[in-house]
Structure 1
Amino acid sequence: MALRVVEWSTGTVGRHAIAGIDAHPDLELVGVWVSNPDKVGKDAGELAGLGRELGVRATSDRDALIALKPDCIVHTAMTDDRVMESIEDLIWFVENGVNVVSSGPVVLQFPFGILPDSLLERIEKAGAASGASLHVNGIDPGFANDVLPLSMTSLSQRIDEVRCQEIADYSTYYQPVVMRDLFGFGQPMDTTPLLLSPGILSMGWGSVVRQIAAGLGVTLDEPLVERVERVAADRDYSTVSVEIPEGTMAALRFEVVGQVNGVDRVVLEHYTRTHPDQCPQWPRPNSGDGCYRILISGEPEMAVEFGHHGENGDHNVSGMIVTAMRLVNSVPAVVEAHAGLVTALDLPLITGRGLVARG
């Protein structure tokens, strides 16, 4: 019998999640939540751009969706600008006995040592009382810097450093709040965007570093180390999310570093351009406009580059798809998992079972 699923939001990730749920043979879409009043009453197929109706109408009534008694909620609502409020939403789902897979807040990917113990205890108590599980994942933070690098380390004889890189051109990435307010693109160079406020990088991507360390049985120095390089625009640039006048911030490189006895051992590194011409001294993908690159120093030296692009060739569109599908395809495993918070270290191999094209 198919698992009953509610999709929570229909934005840049949610619309792809709807398509993925509809395509998955073990899942049945039974409800859709929307925040925009203009979307209420519209069919899920229309909201997902499928060109056909699915017979499920969107609603903003949270209680009505919980009353459907879904097996799982696929939660893809924006959380970057409402971290604590969205955590309360996720806890509420679990308290009501509904399993959840969510794209955020990303700190919940592996929150140990980052969020207060009291908050984590609330999630565990809610799961113990209701039997429901909560799993946060995606592509980054997510598969590209948890399952992929940890799988590679199974080939190692000695590990000196694990480095997970995102190398990407964000010019076609449509998330105005993220691009302008979180990253600070298009803002004056003397402005400190939210992402670069003290400790925020370690909160946002520290979960990646800490989970890899946990998977390797390593105890890291505290606190994590943050390194940042900001680059001003040498001319005016235009992206789908923000305008970037000359002299404002146009590119960003940062590292979140886990050290052992003062030596870098686990590193999360991002190279973010807003135009392909920027920062020629920085690494570039071997092909396409963006990639994830895993570098493992030791014996042997290993490197894997993971790229993706949609049918239209755009890697930012496919970035939304892979984020959505990592969640959708994990639903059966999360439903079967232990109650409470579930990390990638707790789950079995997740595959695209049932998704091979027919005809």
Structure 2
Amino acid sequence: MEWSTGTVGRHAIAGIDAHPDLELVGVWVSDPAKVGVDAGRLAGLDRDLGVVATSDRDALLALRPDAIVHTAMTDDRVAEAIADLTAFVAAGINVVSSGPVILQYPYGVLPDAMVQSVVDAARTGGASLHVNGIDPGFANDVLPLSLTSLSQEIDEVRCLEIADYSTYRQPVVMGELFGFGKPMDDQPMLLTPGVLSLGWGSVVRQIAAGLGLTLDEPLVERHERIAADRDYETVSVPIPAGTMAALHFEVIGQVDGVDRVVLEHYTRTHPEQCPDWPRPADGDGCYRIVVSGEPEMRVEVAHHARHGDHNVSGMIVTAMRLVNSVPAVVAAEPGLVTALDMPLVTGRGLVSRG
């Protein structure tokens, strides 16, 4: 079952349809205009899949699907989303979800009692919950931890997203969370002290757990904001000259005051901005892993959609990390499943026959 059909959900529907081991049985939507529309049309497939969208939550849960692929927007409704996911697993339905990202690895981030309530609900229902995607997700859990398996000595693990967000279609995220297009004396939600650690601290803590590190508390946050040198337009928000146009931030896990695990983002809203910042080796967006130590290692993952740019493919890889994880999550022991618990997930069955 697919839960929401927005920028990620539409690609999840296409992915479920393409996966040989999965069958779509229902689709939930919040937009009344989408109710009664076939899932294939909502996914842009130009064909019907025989499953029509509904906003009737109870009717969908009564179908008792093996799993829900949950891709609804959660950044601005974290508590409500956690309640939704808890209710799903308590009802015995496995869930893979793109958020709230704090549940990717909530240990040390959320209060123990809150985490335990989710785990208890899942175990009572006999279901599993796995929150993942690309970032937070594969680009800063499985990928960097796999790379460290080649290390003899590790000084620092650094996970970077370097991207142009001008074509990222999420007005709430761009305007309200990041603060792009807002006056420089405004404090966006993302830069409220502690919020970066809520958003990305889970990946820092999960890498540390995978490496057997005990981090200093609290995590360290650093950021710099760059004002627009002229007017810019993005698909989500306008950025007048003098307002916030680019953001660089770090969430750092230290041991005895030394940076050991770093999550870092360089976010532009136009490719011409901040020429001194790092750039992808290829294209307009990438994920880069740098492992300092013996040996020094660097891996860069660039992506680009056939019908769109790196921001479109970013939605695809987020959706497909979830979809391709469904069989493993269904097979997992009931509870909260993190990347440290997952077996190898591949694109099994998706090689093109064309």
TM-score by length of 2: 0.99
Q: Which moved more, 1:175-184 or 1:126-135?
A: 126-135
Deviation at 1:124, TM superposition (A): 1.3
Say whether 1:205 aligns with 2:194: no
What SS does the corresponding residue of 1:27 show, helix, strand or coil? coil
Provide Cα deviations, 1:77-111, integer angstroms capped at 9, x if missing partner.
Answer: 00000011100000000111000000000010000
Query: 1:128-167 counterparts in 2 under 5 A?
Result: 128-167=123-162
Instruction: State whether structure 2 residue 322 is matched by structure 1 residue 331.
Output: no
Q: Deviation per CA, 1:108-151: give whole Å up to 9, x if none.
A: 00000011111111111111211100000000000000000000
Between the aligned partners of 1:14 and 1:313, the Cα distance in structure 2 is: 16
Deviations 1:192-245 (A, max 9, x none): 111001100000000010000000000000000000000000000000000000
CA distance in structure 2 between the partners assigned to 1:178 and 1:125 by the alignment: 31
2:92 maps to which residue?
A: 97
- Tell me what 2:3 maps to: 8
2:290 aligned residue (271, 277, 295): 295
The residue type equivalent to 1:159 in the other structure is I
Write out aligned runs for 1:1-359 (5 A).
6-359=1-354
Other structure's SS at 1:84 match: helix
How many aligned positions are there? Answer: 354
Q: Which moved more, 1:124-133 or 1:172-181?
A: 124-133
Unaligned 5+ runs, structure 1: 1-5
- Name the CA distance, whole Å, in 2 between partners of 1:35 and 1:119: 27
Q: Aligned partners of 2:10 and 2:61: how far apart in 1?
A: 20
Secondary structure of residue in 2 paired with 1:259: strand
SS of structure 1 residue aligned to 2:24 = strand
User: Aligned partners of 2:335, 2:183: CA distance in 1, in Å?
Assistant: 43
Secondary structure, counterpart of 1:29 in structure 2: coil
Please state whether the residue corresponding to 2:307 is helix, strand or coil.
coil
1:163-218 CA-partner distances (Å, limit 9, x unpaired): 00000000000000000000000000000111001100000000010000000000
TM-score, normalized by length of structure 1? 0.98
CA distance in 2 between partners of 1:115 and 1:313 (Å): 37
Q: How many angstroms does 1:313 deviate by? A: 4.9
Structure 2: runs of 5 or more not aligned: none
**Partner deviation per Cα, 1:297-335 (whole Å, 9 max, x = no partner):** 000000001100000350000000000000000000000
Equivalent position of 1:3 in the other structure: none
For 1:175 and 1:234, the matched residues in 2 are separated by 23
Structure 2 SS opposite 1:346: coil
Identity across the alignment (%):
79
The whole-number CA distance in structure 2 between the counterparts of 1:116 and 1:207 is 13
Q: Which stretches of structure 1, 4 residues or more, deviate above 3 A after TM superposition? A: none
